[in-house]
Amino acid sequence: MNLSVAIVVLTAVVCTSAEIPHEAVYVLGCLEQTKVEAEAEVQVDGEEVLYADFQRGQEVWTLPEFLGPFPGSTVVHNFYKNAVKGRRLCRDVLALWILDEKCPPEIMDAPESTIYPRDEEELGVENTLICFANHFYPPPVKVNWAKNGLEVTEVASLSRYYPNEDGTFYQFSTLSFTPQEGDVYACTVEHTALKDPKTRFWEYEVSEVSGSSAGPAVFCGVGLTLGLLGVATGTFLYVKGQQFN
């Protein structure tokens, strides 16, 4: 993949009250000729905790609320304001770099996709299906859901895209559902690198006890019965022997 992208990475070390060091990374990037203008985020120990939403004009925290305040808040002071400035600078640097290097057209990467339930499926129990698209470039992807061949939209959601270490991205969509026997669900992923949309299917599988699996249980039961009969016979002969003595 030939990326026409400029990325700035700043790394700092922060400590919690327990004096445990953590690595905080600030990432700023911009891409050429895509719907995504720029990407700015803060990662701690490889996990995203904050990103800039340029469409909504604000920063978004992705830390769960129960974790409390971010210990390295000084690292992200005026985060969104600096992200906007960095986006303009990144565009200028990228334009100069493309002009100077005379870059060839970008090579796009098609997504790999899979579909699976969040929890172990049970008939009649509410669950969530996850459609996971990975290793694609450029972002984002579009995901459509269907149940028994009919489009489903009211209970589906699509996450934002996240970067992989190799420069590609991943994204996932979720669908709330209640497994019922015979229902077939499908997620269809669309991307500029795909000639045709890629569809994955999921269907509840009823587990049945087969003859091969029932065999050992039957033989075990027969063996146990014969064993008990043997014990009973031995006890009977022992009692008879005692009577004769």
Segment 27-43, tens digit of pLDDT? 777 776 555 567 788 77
Question: What CATH code is carried by the domain that includes residue 80?
Answer: 3.10.320.10
Measured between alpha carbons, how far is 229 from 226 in angstroms, rounded to an integer? 5
Show the tokens assigned to 60: 């978004």
> Of 101, 123, 157, which residue is a domain's last?
101
Give the pLDDT of residue 102: 66
**Same-domain check for residues 84 and 16:** yes
Pair (78, 161) in one structural domain: no
136 with 82, same domain: the answer is no
**Helix residue spans in the chain (DSSP H):** 79-101, 211-244
* pLDDT top residue among 217 and 205: 205
Query: What's the structural domain count of the chain?
Result: 2
Reported as a pLDDT band with limits 50, 70 and 90, residue 73 is low
> Does a structural domain hold residue 130?
yes
User: Which pLDDT does position 145 carry in this prediction?
Assistant: 97
Residue 110, SS3 per DSSP? coil
Cis peptide before 163 (omega within 30 of 0): no
Determine if the peptide bond prior to 111 is cis (ω within 30°).
no
Q: Which of 28-42, 44-58, 170-184 has the highest mean pLDDT?
A: 170-184
Does the residue 232 lie in any domain? Answer: no
CATH number for position 136:
2.60.40.10
Between 129 and 71, residue with greater pLDDT: 129
Whether residue 170 is contained in a domain is answered as yes
Q: What is the DSSP string of 24-85?
A: EEEEEEEESSSS--EEEEEEETTEEEEEEETTTTEEEE-S-GGG-S-TTGGGGTTHHHHHHH
CA distance linking residue 103 with residue 15, whole number of Å: 42
Judgement on whether residues 9 and 96 belong to the same structural domain of the protein: yes
Q: Residue 136 is part of which domain span?
A: 112-203
Residues 145 and 191 grouped into a single domain? yes
Whether residue 116 sits in one domain with residue 92 = no
What average pLDDT score do residues 106-124 get? 92
Return d(Cα 194, Cα 135) in angstroms, integer: 13
Structure tokens at 37: 């203008």
d(CA 33, CA 55) in angstroms, rounded, equals 17
In this prediction, residue 61 has a pLDDT band, given cuts at 50, 70 and 90, of confident
> Is 79 found in the same domain as 10?
yes
Report how far apart, in Å, the C-alpha atoms of 233 and of each of 236, 241, 243, 245 are: 5, 12, 15, 19
The predicted pLDDT at position 14 comes to 46
